[in-house]
Amino acid sequence: MNIEIEKTQNGWQHYQLTNGNGMRVSLLDYGGIITEILVPDRNGVLENVVLGYKNISDYEQNPNYFGAITGRVAGRIQDATFSLNGGIYSLDSNEGNHHLHGGPSGFHQVVWETAPFQTDDTVGVKLTHASEDGEGGYPGNVNTTVTYTLTNQNELILDYSATTDKTTALTITNHSYFNLSGNLAETVQNHFVTMASDEFVELDEELIPTGKKIDVTDTPFDFRQGRKIADGIQSTHEQNRIADNGYDHYFLFNQTNDEKINVREETSGRMMTVKTNQPGVFMYTSTNLEEGFELVERDSEKYLGVCFETQASPASLHHKDFPSVILQADETYEKQTVFTFKIE
């Protein structure tokens, strides 16, 4: 186990966590951004499996949220408003009339306090941030801790914890774009995804939830037995069309499986599993990723990565019977997501 720390030209701290197998995770204190994850293919070749900018300073804007912690509320909040305990809260709009991923002053664009740690079989970084009452329009002083832990089982464990002094809205996730082909050799269209989800949330033309849940049966959204991402890209289903020919949808997990998601890439032999105590996930197939961003290995293009944003549902602020994002003043927010990398 090893941890290396360097200062970037921007003055940020850049951490490199390496386990006993050579797997490496790199991250910044700025936005808690994961910049690189190196894992072996079936031949033992270590390659990067996430999208990241070639130039570190490009993360300062980061319109695609590459690798970042997103919050206070990850996802879209309709009309950038919500009501809570008789009050109406107006948030910063940053996607048309709507509020996306915590707004322009969200967690993805703050420098987090960091504390690296190391044990016999783990290495990691604890990140903390104090968000003041009214920041971005949200009520409450919120103290948040996100801990990245790398184990010798090739697990990347993300632990999220938060408290607030006023009841508020909060659901935090990580916005890494995964590509298991290695060093962005291919798009993710042939990634084979299995997901423990019976329902997904219908979207309108602005990608805002309508309040309706759709049974995945007999649709390109049925990943229970596994299917390629290309199925949704090539689909004529109205919901795939709305997402610009792909997926940008919230899937509600069924509670029968501990392992919620499994992703396989046949050429490299890499496999990633996702375990979480979150109630659902946004699966986003980078349908809005524009060409021309200079990434570490190549320029960006549509379908180059897939995000698995485990979280509760922002739709719960406007519709009933969705996983709630409300955190009470006397509660502690505690969530965990584990990404494990294996070889087939």
Distance CA 3, CA 150 (A): 10
The per-residue pLDDT for 258 is 81
The per-residue pLDDT for 332 is 98
The domain defined by 13-343 carries CATH number 2.70.98.10: yes
Closest by CA position to 198, among listed 220, 176, 170, 217: 217
Instruction: Indicate which residues carry an active-site annotation.
Output: 175, 309
- Which tokens is 104 given? 């322009």
Instruction: Identify the three-state secondary structure at position 151.
Output: strand
Low-confidence ranges of the chain (pLDDT < 50): none
Angle at 192 between CA 101 and CA 33, to 5 degrees: 30
The per-residue pLDDT for 224 is 97
**Contact indicator for 213, 264 with CB cutoff of 8 Å:** no
How many Å separate Cα 237 from the centre of its chain? Answer: 25
Given phi > 0 = left and psi -120 to 50 = alpha, else beta, which region is 18?
A: beta
| Residues counted in the chain | 344
Q: Where are the domains of the chain?
A: 13-343
Closest by CA position to 189, among listed 302, 49, 337, 275: 302
The per-residue pLDDT for 255 is 86
Pairing of strands 192-195, 155-164: unpaired
The per-residue pLDDT for 257 is 79
Residue 239, number of CB atoms within 10 A of its CB: 19
